[in-house]
Chains A and B, each alone.
Chain A
Amino acid sequence: MKRFFMPLGALCLLCSCAKESKIVIKEEEAIAISSEKSVELATKVIQAKSYEEFKAARQEIEAYEEAFRTQIGGEDYDYFVETCNEILGQI
């Protein structure tokens, strides 16, 4: 039995860890995160000094965009994307 449950337990642990890495945005913090993260992440993207830095920044900003779109939406999502677009358009 142990042979069966030990790997299963490990797999469950791995799955829960993987889930934790997903960005979760609470509705009450959405406005603050939207204004803070949009500036921070978009600036990181345009100020990247190498392709690797850019790729990491891109991945992060896209993950937040997806999280805002699927979890929050509405004005907070609009604000996030509009601010990002404005900063990304500066380069």
Chain B
Amino acid sequence: MKRKIVTILAYTLLVVVVLLMSQCEHSVTLTTVKRDARHIIELAERIESEEELKHVEKLARQYEIGYQRMYNGAKALEFKRLTNEALRNAGEVCNQIHAENERIAAMRNTFHSSLEDLDAAWGHDMSSLESDIAAIEQNNEQIGKIEADIESVKRESEKLYDLIIEKSYPEDLLNEHSKLNNKIVEMEAEIGKIEHQNHIIRLAYKLHGVEFPVNESEEPTEEVVEVSTEEVVEVSTEEVTE
């Protein structure tokens, strides 16, 4: 008899513990579906960042699970139906904010890199035009070589992709293909760096009023490059009228 009572008590304790644990999983206090949905909608309308969106989505999910466990699936579905649109709208607002932030970051980046380029150009050693012409020629040759390498790697990558399709996407070949694509990206970045070096050299001569020969074999012409203020103002007034 005693044994039976102990077993029953143990089972009851287990059930209580399980119930308490299930309560702990969703730490929200349920009121009514409409009231809780209203709360989530109000929060969703005030969302201004991805973190806030994630927090409100998590909260909504907790309410949903709570309704599912404490009542039934119908109440959970009703809650989801009521809050769905507000959360979707909040997601769109977040995407717009994200895109806007990226646009501003790109604009700022252009602003600061233009100034950095000008700074580097002012700091460029102008003692020998011949050596600068030679440097640009060398850089151009290097660019040509890298471009040829890129073409070769691209062909290799295409062939490999055909093989991947033929062999039903094996993982080792996919990894190899990804490595080749990364190599192409690296080589393109290298070209970007070299082109930037050329740009700085040319910009340095422009700042000092010396026209850099278009064809590297040409002799430099001592021509002062004047940037007219009128032109500059004209552009900005157009912007104002826009």
Contact = CB atoms under 8 A, between A and B. Distances in A.
A88 B207 CA distance: 12
Contacts, number: 71
Contacts of B236: 35, 38-39, 83, 86-87
A75 to B, nearest CB: 11
B239 A82 contact: yes
B interface, how many residues as a size bin? 20 to 34
A90 interface: yes
Contact of A90 (B107, B111, B231): B231
B206 interface: yes
B115 A45 contact: yes
Contacts of B231: 90
Interface string B224-242: 0001010111011001100
Interface string B98-120: 00000010011011001100110
B235 A84 contact: no
B229 A47 contact: yes
A58 B235 contact: no
Given A58-B119, A79-B239, A84 B227 contact: no
Q: Say whether chain B's binding surface is mostly helix, strand, loop, or mixed.
A: helix
A54 B231 CA distance: 20
A87 B235 CA distance: 8
Contact of B235 (A61, A81, A86): A86
Contact of B123 (A51, A58, A61): A51
Contact of A83 (B108, B115, B239): B239
B203 interface: yes
A81 B106 CA distance: 11
A10 B233 CA distance: 44
Given A54-B118, A81-B107, A82-B107, 6 more contacts: A35-B239, A35-B240, A58-B118, A65-B111, A87-B235, A90-B232
